[in-house]
Structure 1
Amino acid sequence: MPTFASPRRAPALLLCGALLALTATPALAAPGAPADAARPAPEPRSQPVFADEPVRETVWVDTGLDGDGDGTTDRVAADIARPRTDAPTPVIMDASPYYSCCGRGNENELKTYDDEGRPVGFPLFYDNYFVPRGYSTVLVDLAGTNRAQGCADVGGASDVTSAKAVIDWLNGRAKGYDAATGGAEVGAGWSTGDVGMIGKSYDGTIANGVAATGVEGLRTIVPIGAISSWYDYYRSDGVSFGADPSGLAETVEDGGRPECAAVKQRLDEGAPANGDVTPLWTERDHVPDAANVTASVFAVHGLNDLNVKTIQFGQWWDALAAHDVPRKVWLSQTGHVDPFDFRRAEWVDTLHRWFDHALLGMDNGIDAEPAASVERAPDEWSDEPSWSGETAAPTALHPVPGETDGLGGLTSAPAPADARASFTDDPRQDEYAWAQQPDQASPARSLFTSAPLQEDLRLAGTGSISVTASPSTSSAHLSAVLVDYGPATTRDHLGDGEGIRTLETESCWGESRDGDDACYRDTEATTADVDYRIVSRGWADLANHESLEQESPLTPGDPHEMTFRLSTADHVIPAGHRLGLIIAGTDGAFITAPDEPGRVDLDLAGTAVSLPIVGGSGAAVKAGLDAPATGTAAVRPERAPARPEIHLNGGSFTG
């Protein structure tokens, strides 16, 4: 993994000495040894030396865009909290659409202002913790939200430019003013121009998008549960999750802005319900632009995030790795949860050192530490030098028929040429219903299971499935689900807290100020004892078998070949467990049904799943995947939500 680039210019704070205070505690020397012999090298760390009330102000930055069509360019509001010092400081930025509509963090904090409109309450702990340590924090209202002008365009140019323009202003390349309209021009002489962007969900998505522009001055991003492609948030290989970007735009605009009706119309026109990829979606796909990224990336994602699904992390990480972008990752067992709420003390410490290195240029060794940390069991983490998803080998496994129709084996050996299976699409069912009773056939799915594994088998990365399917009607949706059959204790990611419980106690992180509390309610892991776990899933519209940009007519009875993606995984299937593959129709927990659900026949000889197995085919053989088997022991059901919730903002948009 490459080393991290130093900031563009050394901040003056480093020269004053105040932030070079060392926090490592010297070890006691052995009797008779020189006093310095047993002392470890101290780790440089920024210290909370700025105790005065921060400067709090708002600057309205001109984006150069006219999203609301009023004939003047839009200004976005950048609320700033910065130390009282003459030395220039780096910036930690969170650009968000949620500062007035929906809130940030586990406690849904909103921005607050005094009677004269000056910012007082800054959501999250960033200003409380980092401003005393010599950083400035800038919370940006995206265009069309809170106090910003313009219109929300959900991942488009307006969103990305909202934050990019502020970075340009911090570096003297854009204009800022002391009022939303008119006003005097103001500069950012207090800033070094070096910026680190951070944020969960929509906010982290903006960080990804801005990094993909290659804007000068952005030194690092910390995307948490973030989107890399808006298509894959609302659609998947031709199918729809049932929600649309115009609804989210209306929400973040606090119910909608009449002057933004034309923008919402363009969103609706560019996001057809049939799931085709259009120019609107292409514009909102940051993955192809990973080559532009010059910032380091510290990504965090929940492996059980059913909101911003793991494909968002996996495809972004793969693109970053292909371009040798400096990177680090935490993967948790939670759902859509911030690391502040599942690994708080370690998170604050790691984030502190990350920003010290990326924005202050401190040689604290974080770039030489393990680049990946993965939660294997609740609160049990495993570190590795680099994420194994980069080296796992695509390995083909094949569904083969069994003695009972609808139940078969999963093996490294292909199925016979005449092998067939079938299912009838029942949109009332979903992956949780399909995964239950694996020893019993169901007309709604075809299930293929391996023999009990002889050794642990790790999947790490993004897989895919190729099918040869013949529908009985002119429309067909497909789902594929990977299941680990065997007992385990895991985070209860399907519970209300998606793997955490909020407690009554509080802990404080930084300095509290009047109107801006640094204390947050503690959390703990919630767990569930299960007999199976869904490891990965994927969905597709068979009508898009030739192209995701254009549906092709399906002729009932004719076979069609299609390959579609499975969600990114990092999961160890223990020895003694079985690996299951389910192929079915409409997954009622996630996707919409086709116009005419019907029967689908599978040519098993033309069907295979490609899995990212650490150790490749050799590991698969050692685990016993060359020995087909059918049937598994009965299992207790994993709890399932009635419908998934799309809640980028902490509110709910039922999909």
Structure 2
Amino acid sequence: MKLNQFGRLTVDQATQLKELTAIGFAPDLTQPLAAAAAAAYPLLFPESHSETAKQQALAALAVTADQDLAQFLAAQPTQISRPAFYAVALQLLGFEAGTDYQLNDSLAFMAKTGLPTVDGDLATTADFWAALYLLLTTRTKHLVTLIDDLAVRGFYCDFQTGKAVPAHLFFNGKAQDVFDARNLHREVVWVESDLDTDHDGKRDMLETTIFRPKETDAGTKMPVLFTANPYFHGTNDVDWITHKPDPKLAVKTHSYTKDEVTFQPQPAALPHQPVNGESKTAEVYGDENGIYMLNDYMLGRGFVTVYSGGVGTRGSDGVRSTGGTGETDSAVAVIEWLTGKRRAFTNRTDGIEIKAWWCNGKVAMTGKSYLGTLSIAAATSGVAGLKTVIAESAISSWYDYYRENGLVVAPGGFQGEDADVLAVDTFSRQKQAGDLLKVKAEWDKALAAIGKAQDRAFGDYTKWWDERNYRNQLKNIKADVVIEHGLNDWNVKPANAIRFWNGIQALPIQKKLFLHQGQHTYLDNIGSLDFADQMNLWLSYELLGVKNAAPDVLPNVTVQDNVEAETWHTYKNFGTADADHEDQVYNLQADLTGPRASFADTATAIFNDAKEDSDGFEAEIIKPHSKYDSARLWLDLPQAASDQTLEGVPHLQLRLWIDQPTAILSARLVDVGDAKRFAPVAGVVQGTAWPLGFDYKTVSIQEFKPAKATASKLVSLGHVNVQNQQNAYENVPVTPGEPFTVDFDLQPTHLHLPAGRHLALIIHGADMAQTQRTETAVNFHIDRAGSTLTLRYRK
């Protein structure tokens, strides 16, 4: 077990003593060490309410094989040896003596686990308080720090007693769990938007659900964690609209210009709903539960949580558009209400206005996938009051999600999905039959328009997709940004994160990037990283004005190693052309080995004959010896003589000719060599072990763990329509038999390649898991001498 920790602050003695006093200790450097220890240790058992119970708790901890902690303190020690202090500390951190570690070997276990220690024995009272402060800020076996562990056991239960206005509390730069996450107002309000997506002549009203600690009633102003969640009120059956991969690839007849594919918004003026009164009290109870663990974790720390599905979701007006400007505007409208710049009402019709009078005017957006996507979308609006976004597994351009280089592609694992399918999935207004009656005709028109505009025939970048490319508005971003993404996420592929990350580098904002070895998942409850604690530091800085230097303390880039378990690397940047990186250009003939240069794309026939599914194809196509051998080129790169770190965006330039006027061209980069690689999905290591607050929810702790040995693993992939040789909207006719060149990027990656393993490049045609399943057996002829693969390595 390794407990990496990047969110802990190192502070001076005066700050330590001040903060210890603020949370209930009484550090006095003139006091004898024995007296200080005897007073402090019992406070580490807040669940024990009597002196007898506390003494029993002390006696349950061993200092040595012959002495428990109660006996040790009763002997009034004049000093505490470093091994003895950490023998007890490990038990306080949740480790079992004799099982996890040996009492006489505590320091070795601390080092192995990555836990911090003081440098020497505790010879003075000042040494004791310094060691205790460090221990309180150290991670436990259960993901959280010791001070957080004490909080969930009742350490702060009396903190607000006697305060006329409940207050936030900070320790080591982070908000503490001093509010009651169980005692909430669960309210629903309707925010008035500037939209009329259902064309009824009225502004769409957006249902918004609030989880607000009741301490706000006494005047405590709190910031908001806002999650724009189109799934909040449920999803719908989409089997009826899910597409079958097309067996034919159309020959393109039109090439677009840049102007033709550039979206220009058309604002509309709409009348406001009349205000007929005002209330501080909501009329509707929020019956849905919060769905995001980071939001729940921050509730007891004095952060209100807000969810809103946006237009077309249950309780709101309007219709869905899958990433259109209306969905961005929905999220922005909620932020504007939270910051006092927009109206909301207690119901959809009566005109009784309600304000977010409990909000301190500062908002962060959080969420994964579509939720994180809308965080990015709102950030590109430049809306005031949005201080930061924490976008996990998020889309930055919907074209990069459903299309690629002039091709229709599916998000990994969802062959046949498209923008219209997702629109149906999230149109939860249909769950209320009476409400659906009012909008059914307009929704049918909107859905038909999506189906036409998404263009599954040609797959080109168009004005419709340009509207859904949030990277067009990067210059507007004023909010600081945290991006988290899986390096093996073939659903929302890593390019969505890295292209966004690269695009914001010149902006005068703070930015952080986290990359893990998983697929489409949260990072919050991964045991080897203190992600939630880091986000507490970040949000305390962003939304509560704590001067904790979070932008300087947290690494710019944090990347999980794919070979060493529970290991994370920190860097200044990712994959940049700088002194820390070097490019290697491989010629496919001179530098890569393989028996041939031609193949026939018969993958669809092989796939159908084998009655395989998408997952089966994904696993089979990357095997060194595969049923698809005849339908691909396998080219081996040189074996690594020493460990290498591949980082950045692989680029492929191919000179080729084919015997058809169009074709799908696919490429995969594969890590080759028998090894136990991480499973793509994190496994549970401790069930219900991460406590989110005092007497509150618990979440499992997970970790990416090595699985059974495999001969190869997918590192990166890419696809291109051979007619899109310049970009995704200009088309170049292909003449059968005549050579042409295609350039395209593969997905960004970070790969630790150990000595003795090597990379392989697979070139093939149709991708059964992600592209159309074309039945035309195109013959490919690659000019290997005229083709190159460019890889960037970290020095």
Q: What range is the shorter-chain TM-score in?
A: 0.7 to 0.9
Choose which of 551, 558, 567 in structure 2 pairs with 1:373: 558
8 Å Cα contact 1:95-1:163 kept in structure 2: yes
Q: Percent identity?
A: 29
The whole-number CA distance in structure 2 between the counterparts of 1:481 and 1:596 is 21
Choose which of 585, 589, 597 in structure 2 pairs with 1:396: 585
Choose which of 115, 119, 123 in structure 2 pairs with 1:31: 123
Corresponding position: 1:47 with 2:235? no
Choose which of 355, 369, 374 in structure 1 pairs with 2:539: 355
Relative to the length of structure 1, the TM-score reads: 0.80
Residue of structure 2 equivalent to 1:642: none
What do residues 559-613 of structure 1 show as CA deviations (whole Å, max 9, x unaligned)? 2211112001011111111121111111212111347341011122331122222
Choose which of 247, 253, 267 in structure 1 pairs with 2:421: 247
Corresponding position: 1:57 with 2:184? no
Q: Write the mapping of 1:185-264 to structure 2, written as runs, cut at 5 A.
A: 185-241=353-409, 242-254=416-428, 258=440, 259-264=442-447
Question: Any stretches of 5+ residues in structure 1 without a counterpart?
Answer: 1-16, 104-113, 409-420, 616-655
Q: CA deviation at 1:92?
A: 0.5
8 Å Cα contact 2:226-2:306 kept in structure 1: yes
Corresponding position: 1:487 with 2:698? no
Aligned partner letter, 1:579: L
The whole-number CA distance in structure 2 between the counterparts of 1:344 and 1:144 is 39
8 Å Cα contact 1:198-1:204 kept in structure 2: yes
SS of 1:470 mapped into structure 2: strand
Aligned partner letter, 1:276: D
Corresponding position: 1:272 with 2:440? no
Q: CA deviation at 1:122?
A: 2.1
Residue of structure 2 equivalent to 1:337: 521
Residue of structure 2 equivalent to 1:328: 512
What do residues 310-341 of structure 1 show as CA deviations (whole Å, max 9, x unaligned)? 11111111112243532222211111111134
8 Å Cα contact 1:19-1:134 kept in structure 2: no
Greater alpha carbon shift after TM alignment, 114-123 vs 371-380: 114-123
Residue of structure 1 equivalent to 2:568: 382
| Distance change in 2, residues 1:120/1:538 (3 Å) | closer
| Distance change in 2, residues 1:19/1:206 (3 Å) | farther
Residue of structure 2 equivalent to 1:649: none
8 Å Cα contact 1:465-1:610 kept in structure 2: yes
8 Å Cα contact 2:718-2:745 kept in structure 1: yes
The whole-number CA distance in structure 2 between the counterparts of 1:186 and 1:20 is 40
Q: CA deviation at 1:523?
A: 3.8
Q: CA deviation at 1:165?
A: 0.5
8 Å Cα contact 1:21-1:46 kept in structure 2: no
What do residues 215-238 of structure 1 show as CA deviations (whole Å, max 9, x unaligned)? 111111111111111011111111
Aligned partner letter, 2:338: L
The whole-number CA distance in structure 2 between the counterparts of 1:541 and 1:131 is 48
What do residues 498-549 of structure 1 show as CA deviations (whole Å, max 9, x unaligned)? 333487545431256xxxx622344454532222121111001001114421
| Distance change in 2, residues 1:471/1:194 (3 Å) | same
8 Å Cα contact 2:717-2:747 kept in structure 1: yes
Residue of structure 2 equivalent to 1:652: none
8 Å Cα contact 1:398-1:608 kept in structure 2: yes
| Distance change in 2, residues 1:22/1:585 (3 Å) | farther
Q: Write the mapping of 1:333-482 to structure 2, written as runs, cut at 5 A.
A: 333-343=517-527, 346-367=530-551, 368-376=553-561, 377=563, 379-390=565-576, 391=578, 392-400=581-589, 407=595, 421-428=597-604, 430=617, 432-437=619-624, 442-482=629-669
| Distance change in 2, residues 1:344/1:102 (3 Å) | farther
Residue of structure 1 equivalent to 2:252: none
Aligned-residue Cα RMSD (Å) equals 3.2
Residue of structure 2 equivalent to 1:174: 342
8 Å Cα contact 2:398-2:468 kept in structure 1: yes
Q: CA deviation at 1:179?
A: 0.7
Greater alpha carbon shift after TM alignment, 46-55 vs 80-89: 46-55
Greater alpha carbon shift after TM alignment, 374-383 vs 150-159: 374-383
8 Å Cα contact 2:408-2:772 kept in structure 1: yes
8 Å Cα contact 2:603-2:628 kept in structure 1: no
Question: Any stretches of 5+ residues in structure 2 without a counterpart?
Answer: 1-17, 28-117, 135-170, 237-281, 410-415, 431-435, 608-616
8 Å Cα contact 2:624-2:712 kept in structure 1: no
Relative to the length of structure 2, the TM-score reads: 0.66
Residue of structure 1 equivalent to 2:112: none
SS of 2:443 mapped into structure 1: helix
Corresponding position: 1:155 with 2:342? no
Q: Between Structure 1 and Structure 2, whose CA radius of gyration is higher? A: 2
The whole-number CA distance in structure 2 between the counterparts of 1:100 and 1:117 is 14
The whole-number CA distance in structure 2 between the counterparts of 1:102 and 1:609 is 42
SS of 1:373 mapped into structure 2: strand
8 Å Cα contact 2:186-2:209 kept in structure 1: yes
Residue of structure 2 equivalent to 1:643: none
What do residues 380-417 of structure 1 show as CA deviations (whole Å, max 9, x unaligned)? 2223242332344443222116999x537xxxxxxxxx
Q: CA deviation at 1:207?
A: 0.4
8 Å Cα contact 1:476-1:597 kept in structure 2: no
Aligned partner letter, 1:364: N
Choose which of 82, 88, 98 in structure 1 pairs with 2:221: 88
The whole-number CA distance in structure 2 between the counterparts of 1:260 and 1:130 is 37
Greater alpha carbon shift after TM alignment, 48-57 vs 553-562: 48-57
Q: CA deviation at 1:56?
A: 2.3
Corresponding position: 1:608 with 2:788? yes
The whole-number CA distance in structure 2 between the counterparts of 1:211 and 1:549 is 27
Corresponding position: 1:301 with 2:485? yes
| Distance change in 2, residues 1:62/1:91 (3 Å) | same
What do residues 24-65 of structure 1 show as CA deviations (whole Å, max 9, x unaligned)? 998799536867995779623212222372222112111110
The whole-number CA distance in structure 1 between the counterparts of 2:455 and 2:738 is 26
SS of 2:504 mapped into structure 1: helix
SS of 1:220 mapped into structure 2: strand
The whole-number CA distance in structure 2 between the counterparts of 1:522 and 1:178 is 39
The whole-number CA distance in structure 2 between the counterparts of 1:400 and 1:553 is 27
Corresponding position: 1:316 with 2:500? yes
Residue of structure 1 equivalent to 2:155: none
| Distance change in 2, residues 1:176/1:292 (3 Å) | same
Residue of structure 2 equivalent to 1:623: none
Greater alpha carbon shift after TM alignment, 453-462 vs 194-203: 453-462
The whole-number CA distance in structure 2 between the counterparts of 1:372 and 1:309 is 18
Q: CA deviation at 1:347?
A: 2.6
Residue of structure 1 equivalent to 2:699: 520
Structure (1 or 2) with the greater helix fraction: 2
| Distance change in 2, residues 1:268/1:378 (3 Å) | farther
Residue of structure 1 equivalent to 2:299: 131
What do residues 251-301 of structure 1 show as CA deviations (whole Å, max 9, x unaligned)? 111385523122222212221112100111111111232222221111111
Greater alpha carbon shift after TM alignment, 284-293 vs 498-507: 498-507
Choose which of 199, 205, 214 in structure 2 pairs with 1:75: 205
Q: CA deviation at 1:118?
A: 3.6
Aligned partner letter, 1:374: V
Residue of structure 2 equivalent to 1:576: 756
The whole-number CA distance in structure 2 between the counterparts of 1:441 and 1:521 is 40
The whole-number CA distance in structure 2 between the counterparts of 1:236 and 1:422 is 24
8 Å Cα contact 1:499-1:527 kept in structure 2: no
8 Å Cα contact 2:343-2:355 kept in structure 1: yes
| Distance change in 2, residues 1:22/1:488 (3 Å) | farther
